[in-house]
Amino acid sequence: MTELISNRVKRDLKAGRQTVGGWLHLCSSISAEIMGDAGFDWLLIDMEHGPGDYQTLLVQLQALSASRTTPVVRVQWNDPAVIKRVLDLGAEGVMIPLVGNRRECEAAVRACKYPPEGTRGVAGSHRAAGFGRFAADYWARANAEILVIAQVETPEAVKAIDDIVTVPGVDVAFIGPADLSAALGHLGDPKHPDVQAAIARVEAAAKRASVALGTISRSADEATALYGRGYQMVTLCSDASLVAQGAAAAVRGVRAQVGAARG
């Protein structure tokens, strides 16, 4: 790390501005660098469903440090030991999956913050603190700068949403439509009325609490519609999806042309 933490995305969200994000699933410093240079406000390194470990996380964070993109990490679970290591490596935001109630949300927030606001272990030798070069300054700034994102993706969480979004220190309620639709009995059908009703309940609660809303989109049109509904943190794509879809489109295109030419 070459400078103190300064979370531009957290400031944008607090100011009511919309942000554009993407996922990093390939565990590659090369794809992280490419995505960072593309101009995303934030990129999320996925350790819940991605195949990476702490070493692949490190090289992706190093690659992103050359860009203005804010690095966010989705951890595997609401585990303070995991959250601590991710933050020490230099993540500026943490997404915690499957937050189901107020108690779990409070635990997630505590894990992200140093005492007295939380329980994050204190060290000055880690990458986020410049390997000791600016440890005291990092400690003084981290609690205010780290972005805490609670994923809402179960019926339990929907039922408790007013309690979740009023936890001090939670910055974003991020709706996971795939898990939520599955948990409601509609696997693969996030457009089902039951799922949409649950999403609407989360949206209303977040707006009442002035907590930013986040979710997933798969196109610019879908993202635009979500921004129009009040979302501020929306993903557009992932490095893996761009490679997979781009490769498939290239092959389909040339096969169509060759097939037509052979007549």
Domain total in the chain: 1
Classify residue 1: in a domain, yes or no. Answer: no
Residue in the block written with tokens 């707006």 = 207
Here the tokens at position 84 are: 């601590």
Residue 2 in domain: no
Tell me if 18 is assigned to some domain: yes
Q: Note whether residue 47 is domain-resident.
A: yes
> For residues 214 and 229, what is the distance between their CA atoms, to the nearest angstrom?
11
> Would residue 72 count as lying in a domain?
yes
In a domain, 98, yes or no: yes
Sign for the pseudo-dihedral over CA of 150, 153, 156, 158: positive
> Looking at the DSSP assignment, which residues form a beta bridge with residue 216?
235
Report residue 206 CA to chain centroid gap. 17
Q: Which contacts qualify for 124-133: CB closer than 8 Å, 24 or more apart?
A: 126/88, 126/89, 127/1, 127/58, 127/61, 127/88, 127/89, 127/90, 128/1, 128/5, 128/87, 128/88, 128/89, 128/90, 128/91, 129/1, 130/1, 130/2, 131/1
- Cβ neighbours around 4 below 10 Å, total: 16
Q: How far apart are CA 201 and CA 161, in angstroms?
A: 8
- Which tokens sit at 190? 């996030």
Considering the domain boundaries, does residue 3 fall inside one? no
Tell me the torsion sign for CA atoms 173, 18, 73, 3.
negative
What's the domain range around 16? 8-262
Are 99 and 164 contacting, i.e. CB atoms less than 8 angstroms apart? yes
**What is the full per-residue pLDDT of the chain (263 aa) written as tens digits?**
656 789 999 999 999 999 999 999 999 999 999 999 999 999 999 999 999 999 999 999 999 999 999 999 999 999 999 999 999 999 999 999 999 999 999 999 999 999 999 999 999 999 999 999 999 999 999 999 999 999 999 999 999 999 999 999 999 999 999 999 999 999 999 999 999 999 999 999 999 999 999 999 988 999 999 999 999 999 999 999 999 999 999 999 998 888 655 44
Give CA–CA dist 236/13, Å, rounded: 17
| CATH code: domain of residue 64 | 3.20.20.60
Which positions are catalytic?
Answer: 49
Q: Which residue has the tokens 């050359």?
A: 66
**Which two structure tokens, joined as six digits, stand for 110?**
């505590």
The answer to whether residue 68 sits within a structural domain is yes
